[in-house]
């Protein structure tokens, strides 16, 4: 199987999703190793299909200062850093020091360590404290925090900048009534409502893998 189980969108027909992943070019050794580690250890990475979208958005927008909220082992961070090039500055954040430690090993292997500043702690607090504004903010924290993540990040995004959020279809659950105790689905649903109601943002939800929402700050 080309598309591993941890990258299953959960709402797209299996054969269609497999087809999409079969089209993707092979990744290099480092990314291949990270994908295998994520699959074996159930680390929820964005995977290569969404990673290519992120990289494309960095390239077409020319984003250099990028803040990532929820970076885990640094898979998406490396895609962002490579797309931004040697002048890029990427802020990695994660609450788990073990993730950060592993990520730093991969950053060195991928040759992008100098472009990445590693911050351990709550990404919602770290983004508020970070110096200056950002060209792009990528949000992939715990889903119940999405509305708060949006409120924390938006003042730190420059006008014209991109706020990108993963998992906005949430295996299809975003489209269905949430159980009372399902705070993650409720967080995603509230986030989707907020961005489409915002006068500050121009959002598009792309049903790629688990859903990716791209917002331009007006
Ligand atoms: C979905 S994973 C990130 C995957 C990563 N973006 C990638 O695609 O390679 C979410 C990560 O965010 C971290 N996390 C969740 N909420 C957080 C928060 N408020 N602050 C910092 N890290 C957080 C978790 O520890 C977890 O490693």
pLDDT tens, residue by residue, 114-171? 999 999 999 999 999 999 999 999 999 999 999 999 999 999 999 999 999 999 999 9
Going from the Cα of 126 to the center of ligand 1, the distance in angstroms, rounded, reads 13
Instruction: Quote the ligand 1 centre to 72 CA distance (angstroms).
Output: 5
Q: Which of 74, 142, 191 to mutate to test the pocket of ligand 1 (most atoms within 8 A of CB)?
A: 142
Alpha carbon 160 to its chain's center: 19
**Per-residue b or e along 199-212, where b marks 16 or more CB atoms closer than 10 Å to that residue's CB:** eebebebeebbbbb
The model's confidence at residue 8, banded by pLDDT at 50, 70 and 90, is: confident
9: confidence class by pLDDT, cuts 50, 70, 90: confident
Whether 1 has a pLDDT exceeding 60, the answer reads no
What atom in ligand 1 is closest to the CA of residue 96?
A: 25
pLDDT at 174: 98
CA distance 205 to 167: 10
Tokens of 63: 């984003």
Q: What is the pLDDT of residues 16-59, one digit of tens each?
A: 999 999 999 999 999 999 999 999 999 999 999 999 999 999 99
**Predicted local confidence at residue 199, as pLDDT:** 98
181, 19 in Cβ contact below 8 A?
Answer: no
Looking from the CA of residue 51, the nearest atom of ligand 1 is 8
Report the 3 state secondary structure along 116-165. EEEEECCHHHHHHHCCCCEEEEEECCCHHHHHHHHHHHHHHEEEEEEEEE
- Ligand 1 contact, 53 CB (< 6 A): no
> From CA 177, how far away is CA 72, in angstroms rounded?
29
CA distance 197 to 217: 13
Q: How far is it, in rounded angstroms, from Cα 99 to Cα 87? A: 25
Minimum CA distance residue for ligand 1 atom 15 = 141
> If DSSP codes are grouped into helix, strand and coil, which group holds residue 179?
coil
């Amino acid at each position: 199987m080309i598309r591993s189980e941890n990258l299953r969108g959960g709402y797209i027909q299996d054969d269609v999703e497999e087809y999409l992943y079969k089209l993707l070019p092979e990744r290099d050794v480092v990314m291949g190793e990270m994908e295998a580690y994520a699959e074996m250890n159930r680390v929820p990475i964005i995977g290569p299909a969404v990673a290519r979208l992120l990289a494309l958005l960095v390239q077409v927008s020319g984003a250099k200062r990028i803040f990532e909220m929820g970076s885990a082992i640094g898979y998406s961070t490396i895609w962002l850093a490579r797309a931004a090039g040697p002048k890029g500055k990427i802020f990695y954040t994660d609450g788990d020091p073990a993730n950060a430690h592993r990520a730093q090993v991969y950053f060195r292997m991928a040759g992008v360590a100098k472009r990445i500043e590693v911050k351990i702690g709550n990404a919602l607090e770290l983004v508020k404290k970070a110096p200056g504004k950002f060209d792009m903010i990528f949000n992939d924290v715990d889903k119940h925090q999405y509305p708060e993540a949006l409120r924390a990040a938006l003042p730190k995004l420059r006008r014209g900048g991109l706020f990108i959020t993963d998992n906005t279809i949430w295996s299809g659950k975003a489209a269905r009534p949430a159980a009372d105790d399902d705070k993650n689905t409720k967080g995603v649903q509230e986030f989707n409502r907020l961005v489409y109601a915002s006068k500050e943002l121009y959002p598009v939800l792309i049903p790629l893998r688990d859903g990716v929402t791209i917002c331009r700050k007006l």
